[in-house]
Amino acid sequence: MDDFLFIFDAIFPIVLVILLGYFLRRIRLLNENFVEVGNKLVFKVLLPIYLALNIYRINSFAEIDGWFILYTTIAIFVLFAIGLLIVIFSIKERNRRGVVLQAIFRSNNSIIGIPLALALGSGQAVAQVAILSAIAIPVFNILAVVSLSIFTNEKFKITKVLLDIVKNPLVIGIAVGLVIIGIRSLIGSQSTYWIAEHLTFLYSATDMVGALTTGFSLIVLGAGFRFTSIQIYSKELTIGVIGRLILAPVLVIGVFLLLAKANILDGSSAKVVALIPLFASPVAVSSAIMAKEMNNDEVLANSLVFMTSILSIITIFVLCFVLRVYNFI
């Protein structure tokens, strides 16, 4: 019962804030313009600052586990390969294949990751989420373009993909945090909060933005939920939901725990917590935007965002409960 209450207390506040956003939209206190502007604000301002702040709080590059990052990167590519085989052999409509493939490997880690890590873990877990984001976001973007290009007439241009990654606000925020860690290492300061000590006004301002980010992001996420006709997409939605919410977390976290038990990887609870949102959270909201821009099935993409967002509440709860019972988190 204690384990159940722990997971319930950790996850349900996130659910309530998302439902608050949906409720406010339903009573028309929030509208489509709010969702559009809110998503831009989260993506271009709030999350970049928040990611930079959380990476900044890492003492040095020595705290970054290269083997953990390597495992995570390989896991994303493995999911892409498995998803590619699944959609080729199970989905006939070409403009739906890339959408489902994207759903299998690409998560909403940027929005769900930090609040879930805060609820389940500690500052160390949040730092691990930020570190994984530094790798996952560029990889997600590259593979998303590939998955949405190979089944349509869109041409895959590596220069455009690289330019989009460099211009991605989340990547810029992560890069700023890493640069600050590098500067700290060069000048030999061991203080985690050296900017907080010497530029208090700057740290206080970014900390205020960080405090705003989580709740506002979840409200925008809830306000953007849509019910759409799902009958014509029943097979695609089933494949996408199972791939995103069951196959990905069970495979990746399961293998990680086996490797940790064999002392091949460090299986600290902070790292296990960081893997949960990266591989068990809903498909990224931006996946629907990309699908529309690249002439894939936009309605299916929106339906996958909605269905995985709703059902992830159950799967994340069950996953966290099992991991908690067996003392992995």
Which DSSP symbol is given to 112?
H
Choice between 329 and 267, residue whose per-residue pLDDT is larger = 267
What type of residue is 250? Answer: V
pTM: predicted TM-score of the whole model, two decimal places: 0.79
Domain residues for the domain of 104 are 2-325
Ranked by mean pLDDT, which of 105-109, 248-252, 311-315 comes out on top? 248-252
- Give the separation between CA 290 and CA 99, rounded to whole angstroms: 9
Given pLDDT bands bounded at 50, 70 and 90, which one contains residue 250? very high
Give mean pLDDT, residues 55-59: 73
- Tell me, what's the pLDDT at 288? 74
- The domain total for the chain is 1
| Whether pLDDT at 266 is above 80 | yes
Q: Domain with 184 in it: what CATH number?
A: 1.20.1530
Given pLDDT bands bounded at 50, 70 and 90, which one contains residue 71? very high
* CB under 8 A, 24+ apart: contacts of 293-298: 294/98, 294/145, 294/148, 294/149, 294/152, 294/154, 295/95, 295/152, 295/153, 295/154, 296/95, 296/96, 296/98, 296/99, 296/148, 296/151, 296/152, 297/93, 297/95, 297/96, 297/99
| Percent of the chain residues topping a pLDDT of 90 | 23
- Give the separation between CA 243 and CA 11, rounded to whole angstroms: 22
- Tell me, what's the pLDDT at 2? 63
| Whether pLDDT at 253 is above 90 | yes
Given pLDDT bands bounded at 50, 70 and 90, which one contains residue 45? confident
List the structure tokens of 120.
């389940």
- Tell me, what's the pLDDT at 99? 93
| Whether pLDDT at 192 is above 60 | no
- Tell me, what's the pLDDT at 228? 62
> What is the per-residue DSSP string for 230-258?
-GGGHHHHHHHHHIIIIIHHHHHHHHHHH
Q: How many CA atoms lie within 13 A of 269 on its CB side?
A: 15
Given pLDDT bands bounded at 50, 70 and 90, which one contains residue 113? confident
Give mean pLDDT, residues 122-150: 81
